[in-house]
Amino acid sequence: MPRYVLVEDNGERRIPCADAEGVFTGPAGEPLRLRRCTLPAELDERLRTGRKIQPALFFFETVDRFGIETELSVVQLDIAGWSLHGGNQADLVLREPLHDPPSPAARPIWQLWSAGRPPVANLWAGHDRVEWLRAALAHRRAEGPDRPPGRAYRVDGAHVTDVTSYYCALGEAVNGPGGYFGWNLDALADCLRGGFGATPPFTVVGPEVPHVREVFERAGVTLRATP
């Protein structure tokens, strides 16, 4: 099973790849190197005959052990070099890095997710919190309608030390281990409009961080702060 797949933005072409280098580089970025990619017949023919391949935008997605694909970034498929194998397979070197590539600290987070949804809460506490939230958002799946109003969600504050860690804990309070429910005030306001697991009005019990109360109250959510 491939670890990554490139999907053209119009969905017409897919390029599964066994592995890739240059994924977790952070802002510096580096050209993406793709290993054992299975090419569409048209691309394979163009490479083998030396014909020009027009650059195109592709979604760069990870593939977990269940075969579920999750968008990690986007990349311009502009091929700078290649090594051909049999069976429509090739190693590719692209001219450009991923757009907004995740940092090296994200690698163990995405490796964890590759085995499926985190099985227990608070695993985020051992990882980079910004990259955890980015991965949690990317892996968010619509799992039926939002839960009805009137619920209470308890935020585990054991590892909450700042605003970012609060959002990690809030996401899990609402949507379980690995859950997402915003990563800043604007994103929180979006989640409170629906489609992210909970329907206001509801109650959140837990620690308080700056300005969150105001966003909750505008949506009809009661924040019951704990020490």
pLDDT at 202: 97
Among the listed residues 31, 21, 123, 133, the one whose alpha carbon sits nearest the alpha carbon of residue 81: 31
pLDDT at 46: 92
pLDDT at 227: 67
**150-to-84, 171, 176, 198, 222 alpha-carbon distances in Å:** 59, 18, 18, 10, 10
Distance between CA atoms of 165 and 177, rounded to whole angstroms? 14
pLDDT at 183: 97
Mean pLDDT split into 10-residue runs, the chain, 227 residues: 94 95 93 96 92 94 96 96 93 96 97 95 98 97 87 97 97 97 97 95 95 96 88
pTM over 0.85: yes
Return the residue matching tokens 């308890």: 154
pLDDT at 134: 97
Would you say 2 and 26 are in contact if contact means Cβ atoms under 8 Å apart?
no
